[in-house]
Structure formats: structure tokens, C-alpha cells
Structure 1
């Protein structure tokens, strides 16, 4: 069983994760939101949405989320496209009462969502690492905030989940941090989820599962990393944080108030 304490802060928040992956140990370095993180000398800047720049139609929203969703280059050297590479923009993942994930049609509050899948192929003693980035634009910031809350609730309800036919996550834990708490000096909300990941296609034994999601106004940005054997939690957290930071910057540039 993995421990979630010490990833974002010195203790545990007591909340539990769900719809998305995560999994650091108590020895992992403190993680803050990508922009304005501790020790970089960067001044914390809270994101402010310019309402006139936010898409209001599904087609324009899809153009935006496609433009900012991370691909292989966002994670680091060696990452390539995983097949299928891009998601169906008309599909929305839903966790059933049986703790199995299914694809349904987009809910009414979502203007657009988009996912890209990447992987780091196995090499030598190191196993394959899988990663996916998702960007969702809701009609309102309140609806995006509700998505964050539901993600936390899903882990409480289903600490063990079936992702696909042979892929499972287990022992999920999560922590959420609003702006100004636990080192979050950038996003309106920040969530990290952790657990273990099993897929027989990658060999016997569990690996780490890390899910990180942030909210900037009506936009949610998420990155999941399913770790290969031989990779530590710190390695995967670095990969995840790099991709989240890049997408955060893109969203800030596209929708933020111009100074």
C-alpha cells in the first residue's frame, strides 16, 4: 500500500482520490502547483480569466482544448505516441456503481474535452511508462469546480477501480488544495491522487499510479502517469509536473487577462 502523506504537505488531508491516478511516498519531495512553486524565485500569480476570451461554442472550445493538450514532447526525452493517441471528443468517462469506468456522451455542462495518450517504451531494466493528458472546458467555473469535487468523491466510493479490460488501479488516496493552501500559489484548485497500477501486459507486479488535476477558472487540466518498473515515484512526479506546467501556461496565455 502506498502512502499519500508528504507529497503536497507534511501531513494528510484525509481525502481520498478516485477517477484519476496518483501515488507518491512519504519520502517524496513536496509538490506545489506548477506556476509559482517554492524555491524558484517566481512570484506567485493567480490566474484571472478574461471572459471575452473564453470560447462559448463546442467547436471553438474543442479547438482550444486540442491546442493545449500535451503530447509526447511535453513529458521528456524518449516519449512517443501511444495508440490510440487521441480520444473521441464526444466521449466522457463515467465511473459506475460497480467501480468500472465506461464511456458515455458529454454532459451538458462540458463544452469540450480532449485527451492524448503517450508512453515511454521499456528499455533495459526499466519498464514502460504510460501517460495521458486531458483538458476540459466547462461552461462555468462552478461546473469545473464540481468536476474536481466529484473526482475526490469517486475515490472515496471506489478505492479500487477497473480502468480497461486488463488495467486496474488499487488503494487510491488523494489530497486537494485550494488556492493559497499547501503550497498552491497558482491554480484555483489542485488535486493529486495516488495508488498502484496493474496490467498483465506490462508484466507481473504493481507499479505506481499518479493522477494530478488542476483547475483554472472553467478549465480543468489533468495528467495521469502509470509507472514502469524501475521508476521511482519522484521520477513520475517530475514527468507529471512538467506536463501540467506546460498546459497551465498555455491556458493562461489563451484565456487570461492581458496585463
Structure 2
């Protein structure tokens, strides 16, 4: 997925992704997490204030993480995965009220390479539109298991799984997606390192966290860092929007 956390766009199919029998997943908008409608922003300026307040920074991942330039995204930009499996920036789609990303990193140490992270929060106009983003996200990993992020950065061998509320241990979000693969950037040294990405939906809000690298870190280490940041942002969504099960 894009390091900025988005997966939707004109190149993606509009078909909902089905889940195994008896399991709810992306494409099923049955509400499990409800928000207070009076607290959901309706203008782009107020929506941007909300997503800024929720988006994780360096202190959300653990000790030693710092800001990575550029630290904050352009809120008018929307990464889109093309038919050639290359990410590009396009203008914000009409169904999105606001989106925001912060970039962090854990500097390399003597024995371990640099870890890069990005956290994104997006507020859609409706729950159905947020759910459509989740469905397209799951589908895109199947369409493009190998993706070009930037000129020298690639992710490969992607595998994704979606879990609706109440399945596979998901008891905190309407939908949960996990994607894993390998990340390669010559600037970080030779050879690929682990890549993990997680996106969840709570009503009209989607939260995404990606963790890339570094050499010497086990995949489980990155998943722990990722889960910490996602849980912190879920807590903020509950506080800001009065979300409840």
C-alpha cells in the first residue's frame, strides 16, 4: 500500500470484496461501532482539525522514534495505485472530507537498520464510502502484489487478510485489514526488510499505519509497534467522536 495510507482511487474496482461464509468483512456496512452524529465534522476545515488530532506521531510508536521529513502530508493530496502498480498523487476525491498523514522513524543503531513508519487518518462523508475504501484496499493487494512506492522504494510479495468485527480477534473496529510483505530501498542498505501495514474502520473513519524495515528487526517487532499506534488512534476516535460498541 501507499506509505501515506490510502488505497482508493479511480484505478481500483468498485466491487465489494466478499468474506468467507459467516464472516463480516469489507463491503458489509453493518454498524458495530457507532459514533455520535453531532460530533462528526461536516466541513473540510473542521474535518482536517479532527484527523490532525487523531493522527499518530513519533511518541505513539515507542522510545527512540523521531519525526521523519516531510513530517506531515499535503492534506489536498490523495495517493492512487495505477493499473501499472505504481503509486501517484492525485487530488482529494469528493467522498473524502479530510485525510492526514504523519511520518516517523526509528534511527539506525549499531546493530539494527532504520525503521520507517507512517500513520494516516481519513474521514469519509459516509460510512458506506469508508467501507468502500476498505473493500478496494483488500482487492488492490491481489491486483498488485508488487508495488512501486517511489523512485527507489518497492514493496513485494504482499498478502492481505480482512476481518470484520467479531472475527479473528477483532473486537475494536468495524473492519480490520492486515497486509504483509517485503520492503526494499537501496538507501537503507542491500536486501529487503519486512513490511507490515494495518488499516481499520470505525464508522466513517479509517486509520492506517505502515511500518517498514529495518534490518535486524523481526516481523513480530514491527507488528507490535504497529498495533501500539493503531490502538492509540482508535482510543482518540472514541474520545473525539463518542464512538461506542
Q: Same fold (TM over 0.5)?
A: yes
Matching residue within 127, 138, 144 for 1:141: 127
Partners of 1:50 and 1:98 in 2: CA distance: 40
In structure 2, the partner of 1:64 is 50
Q: Describe how 1:217-236 pairs up with structure 2 within 5 A.
A: 217-236=203-222
Answer whether contact 2:87 2:149 (CA < 8 A) is retained: yes
In structure 1, the partner of 2:8 is none
Q: Please say if 1:115 is aligned against 2:101.
A: yes
When normalised by structure 2's length, the TM-score is 0.87
Aligned residues: 218
Matching residue within 38, 43, 52 for 2:38: 52
When normalised by structure 1's length, the TM-score is 0.82
Q: 1:109 to 1:124 in 2, by over 3 A?
A: same
The alpha carbon displacement at 1:47 in A equals: 2.9
Answer whether contact 2:174 2:201 (CA < 8 A) is retained: yes
In structure 1, the partner of 2:141 is 155
What's the C-alpha RMSD, in Å, of the aligned pairs? Answer: 1.5
Runs of 4+ in 1 over 4 A off after TM superposition: 18-21
The alpha carbon displacement at 1:19 in A equals: 5.0
Matching residue within 185, 188, 193 for 1:202: 188
Q: Please say if 1:171 is aligned against 2:157.
A: yes
Matching residue within 75, 90, 114 for 1:89: 75
Which of the pair has the greater relative contact order for Cα pairs under 8 Å at 6+ separation?
Answer: 1
Q: What does the per-residue CA deviation read over 1:183-234, in whole Å, with 9 as the maximum and x for residues that have no partner?
A: 1111000000000000000000000000000000000000000020000011
In structure 1, the partner of 2:234 is 248
Unaligned runs of 5+ in 2: 5-31
Unaligned runs of 5+ in 1: 1-17, 22-45
